[in-house]
C-alpha cells in the first residue's frame, strides 16, 4: 500500500500527531492514504478514536522501529 502523503511527527507528544494529521487530511481527497509516523505511545489509541469519529479508515499499524509506529489511514 503506497501512501499519497507521509507525515512524520516523531518526537511530537499527543495529541499533536492527530492534530497535525487532521490539518493534512483537510487538504486530501477522499480515498487517499496517509502514512503517519509517530513515537508518542498514545497515538495508537488516538488514531483509532479519531478514525471512528470522522469516518476515516485505519488500514494498518506497523512498528517500524523501537517505539516508532506507522499508521496507514485512508480518508473516508
Cite the active site residues. Answer: 14
Q: Is the dihedral of CA 74, 54, 41, 5 positive or negative?
A: positive
Using DSSP's 3-state secondary structure scheme, residue 17 falls into helix
Helix axes 43-54, 16-25, angle to 10 degrees: 40
Amino acid at each position: 500500500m503506497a501512501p499519497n502523503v507521509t507525515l512524520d511527527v516523531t518526537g511530537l507528544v499527543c495529541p499533536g500527531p492527530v492534530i497535525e494529521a487532521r490539518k493534512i487530511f483537510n487538504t486530501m481527497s477522499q480515498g487517499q492514504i496517509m502514512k503517519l509516523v509517530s513515537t508518542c505511545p498514545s497515538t495508537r489509541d488516538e488514531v483509532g478514536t479519531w478514525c471512528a469519529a470522522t469516518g476515516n479508515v485505519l488500514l494498518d499499524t506497523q512498528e517500524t522501529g523501537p517505539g516508532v509506529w506507522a499508521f496507514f489511514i485512508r480518508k473516508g
